[in-house]
Amino acid sequence: MRPKIYLFGDSITEQSFDDGGWGAALANHFSRTVDVVLRGYSGYNTRWAFKVFDRVFPAAETGGSEGAAPPLAVTVFFGANDACLPDGYAAFQHVPVDEYKRNLHSIVSSLKNRWPKTLVILIAPPPIDEDERLRHPYAENPSGLPERTNEAAGVFAKACVEAAGECGIPVVDLWTRMQQYPEWRKAFLSDGLHLTPEGNKVVFKEVMKKLNEGGISLGKLEVDLPVLADIDHADPLKAFQ
Amino acid sequence: MRPKIYLFGDSITEQSFDDGGWGAALANHFSRTVDVVLRGYSGYNTRWAFKVFDRVFPAAETGGSEGAAPPLAVTVFFGANDACLPDGYAAFQHVPVDEYKRNLHSIVSSLKNRWPKTLVILIAPPPIDEDERLRHPYAENPSGLPERTNEAAGVFAKACVEAAGECGIPVVDLWTRMQQYPEWRKAFLSDGLHLTPEGNKVVFKEVMKKLNEGGISLGKLEVDLPVLADIDHADPLKAFQ
């Protein structure tokens, strides 16, 4: 059976198979070796994500009584919604930062309890372009203020990095990484929050780096069926015995 | 458990999660409802594909003794390699057209025996731009002749359409469909054989049409967890009870 990598997160994960998406890029990279499984839920924060954990990862599907193989890796990518301002129009999605951090701990513990050897990678939320958020509201917004700020996203990103450190697992600090590029607002964000194809490339590269450091790379994975280069032109069927 | 759609085919399937790919587009379209599972094997013809059938679809994974749910659909997309000329440099991939048709019957029967209700969709090979094939050989080619011709691809496409008719299942006749556009060579093919993003869109649209006609569409599929629009802003956790 082919091993799996689960992508668990909010809309930035749900949309990761759209044109140029980081999820599709992972699936393409591992096309002969790994099933990349999409578990993205638009709008979700860590409170809701932890509530649905057992339905996202049902025991029967993922290594309960039937002994299915544990996934190679799981990316956990939340925070963009938790960081909605508590007094903005998206306040119903907000989660206080202390609870956000606790929820990340709970999600990571649940994954690690079930699959001690699975590589769990946290991904911190991206930075926010507030001007673009005002141009792309997803609800009526008479206040004239953005529902998310870059500063708040940064507080949650920092908490995510801390949680990863406390859990002893790798983390992609997307908020910090993206802002190392002067053109991050236009280059990486399509609406001040979601990712352009270039922004998706940043996520893909950073996740690939963490997978690689965690021992997950094409060189170490078994291809389950013969590749064309290993098929003898004079006797092709030999490869399929 | 989320239902699955398997994509079984050669390199045009294996590459279907690359930028603009038809597989990624399906995964994106069904992001909250279906797992789109990539089973593409570059260079494979139907002879090899049938040889590995039980390893591509292991009984334990796909509804054997453990009673896992049958997949919603399987696309079977071979023929581009079977149609390699028997006297060209890719002759080791060639399969006579009568055997190609028999192999398609065998693959479809194996799928239908295991899962009588699963929608099996055949996809015929795309047309060939011979000039481009000469510019993109994948082996030494002193003959100066292309290893595939459009005429041969057409013979295999016709056999694929016939096989689908005999099996009573839907078919995407890609060879015919693409050539209905005058600019098909440059618009749809990147190297005279594989697909551009525009070519991928044709496959995506045609497969979507067949899925829809077979009763598989977003409107009829169950979303396994609450969508944001159904979450009460005043009491979000209610949706997760």
Cβ distance of A55 and B225 shorter than 8 Å? yes
Domain count, chain A: 1
Q: Which domain holds residue B110?
A: 4-240
The Cα–Cα gap between B79 and A6 comes to 32
Residue B63 has pLDDT above 90, yes or no: no
Burial of A48 (0-12, 13-18, 19+ CB in 10 A): buried
Mind spelling out the 3-state secondary structure of chain B? Answer: CCCEEEEEECHHHHCCCCCCCHHHHHHHHCCCCCEEEEEECCCCCHHHHHHCHHHHCCCCCCCCCCCCCCCCEEEEECCCCCCCCCCCCCHHHCCCHHHHHHHHHHHHHHHHHHCCCCEEEEECCCCCCHHHHHHCCCCCCCCCCCCCCHHHHHHHHHHHHHHHHHHCCCEECHHHHHCCCCCHHHHHECCCCCECHHHHHHHHHHHHHHHHHCCCCHHHCCCCCCCHHHCCCCCHHHHHC
Of B169-173, B184-188, B222-226, which gets the smallest average pLDDT? Answer: B222-226
Is residue A32 within 8 angstroms of chain B, CB to CB? yes
User: Closest to B228 (Cβ–Cβ): which among A28, A43, A197?
Assistant: A43
Nearest to B83, CA basis, from B174, B21, B8, B170: B174
Residue A62 has pLDDT above 60, yes or no: no
Nearest to B152, CA basis, from B217, B239, B93, B65: B93
**Chain A contact set for B3 (CB, 8 A):** none
Burial of B214 (0-12, 13-18, 19+ CB in 10 A): middle
**CA-CA-CA-CA torsion for B167, B171, B174, B180, nearest 10 degrees?**
110
Residue A224 has pLDDT above 90, yes or no: no
B11 has catalytic annotation: yes
Cβ distance of A43 and B19 shorter than 8 Å? no
Is residue B19 within 8 angstroms of chain A, CB to CB? yes
Quote ipTM for the complex: 0.96
User: Closest to A66 (Cβ–Cβ): which among B58, B66, B240?
Assistant: B66
Question: For B65-82, how does the pLDDT look when each residue is reduced to its tens digit (9 = 90+)?
Answer: 445 789 999 999 999 999
The Cα–Cα gap between B228 and B239 comes to 10
C-beta separation of A147 from A137 below 8 A: yes
A136 has catalytic annotation: no
The Cα–Cα gap between A210 and A164 comes to 13
Bridge partners, residue A189, by sequence: A195
Q: Which of residues 41-70 of B touch A (CB under 8 A)?
A: 41-44, 47-48, 51-52, 55-56, 58, 60-61, 66
- pLDDT, position A102: 98
Question: For A208-222, how does the pLDDT look when each residue is reduced to its tens digit (9 = 90+)?
Answer: 999 999 999 999 999
Give me chain B's average pLDDT, please: 95
Nearest to A116, CA basis, from A162, A71, A163, A164: A71
Tokens of B191: 């190297």
**Chain A contact set for B43 (CB, 8 A):** 228, 231
Query: Exactly one of A18, A29, A110, A191 is catalytic; which is it?
Result: A191
The nearest alpha carbon in chain B to A19 belongs to B20
Question: For A152-195, how does the pLDDT look when each residue is reduced to its tens digit (9 = 90+)?
Answer: 999 999 999 999 999 999 999 999 999 999 999 999 999 999 99
* A64 band by pLDDT with thresholds 50, 70 and 90: very low
> Which CATH number does the domain housing residue B13 bear?
3.40.50.1110
